[in-house]
Amino acid sequence: MPSRRSALALLAGGSAALALGAAPTAHAHGRPGARPFGRYGSPARRLDAATLYVDARGRGDHTAVQAAVDAATGTGRTLVIAPGTYRETVDIPADRTGLTLIGASDDPHDTVIVYANANGTPRPDGSGTYGTSGSATVTARPAGLTAHGLTFANDWLRADHPEYTGTQAVAIKVQGDRSAFYGCRFLGHQDTLYADSLALTEFARQYYRDCYVEGDVDFVFGRATAVLDRCHFRTLARTDLATAPYGFVFAPSTAGANPHGYLVQRSRITSTAPDGYFKLARPWVPSSDLTAHPMLTVRDSHLGAGIDTDEPYGTMSSGFPWQEQRFAEYRNTGPGARATVPANRPRLTAAEARLHTPAAWLGDWRPYR
């Protein structure tokens, strides 16, 4: 199996410069000379005054995503991003409310934002390492952010840096309320998708539909009020471990005062690892919030054979066992959903399940309609 870095090179037509610090590179979508922004106009035929175009080949307003974000001041702006591999980190400030990001081809394989920082990567200024949050390829802080048809990736590999102990490498950290992602891909290994909030007291609502997420350790994690609908989660084999478990899919850190954590519905979990080598979830109670009460509901989903059916949940910290958290399942199918040890598979009743819905999680915000 090719490494993530070589796979991304193939996605970019085999010619992308994927070394750290390389300039953004792009490949054309379709025949040579095809419109790089597809059905979304162009600088000469702008959809509206609020729309900016990004193309590393110079056919847009900007050649890098961060440059376009910097220029997109105010609210309600749209960035249309031409197909290509953009090797850069992107930081979207909180004041870019209502920002929309669109992959111009509508195929997330074509438009990739990627970088390769990890928790343990030294900062260039010598001030220490990036830490988990600082490792994110994309950090998205604004409320009302929407993304369509994009890939967010972190292609840092453990094998390249066996000396690192901080191996978390975030593809995207999402913190804003009313953040929605449609048809996007999130690629990484440990801590791929950080669905979080701006502060402990803020219950950021997020919605992910028809998305693909892959990784190995805690690769969907954080304290957001998140609905993951019709998504595909892929657990990855590991060559650095000889025995199970290889990792965990979910690691919510829901604030104790928040009645809603992660809701996964109508989704599926597949694996490239041996059967039973992954746990479904473990609770994350961070040192910054020892009152966290992680919550996860997985319902109406297909769980593949990669999930350990005897012990599908694990405990991250001994003082916060998974049995004391808000974990539940309902009406799941597949070999990974078998209740071989019923005490280890907390189930909702039909009456309880009626309260675990996108409407209950997201309130007056209805991105699923």
Catalytic residue numbers, as ranges? 218
Calculate the CA dihedral of residues 45, 47, 52, 55 and round it to 10 degrees.
Answer: -50
Distance of alpha carbon 111 from alpha carbon 104, whole angstroms: 8
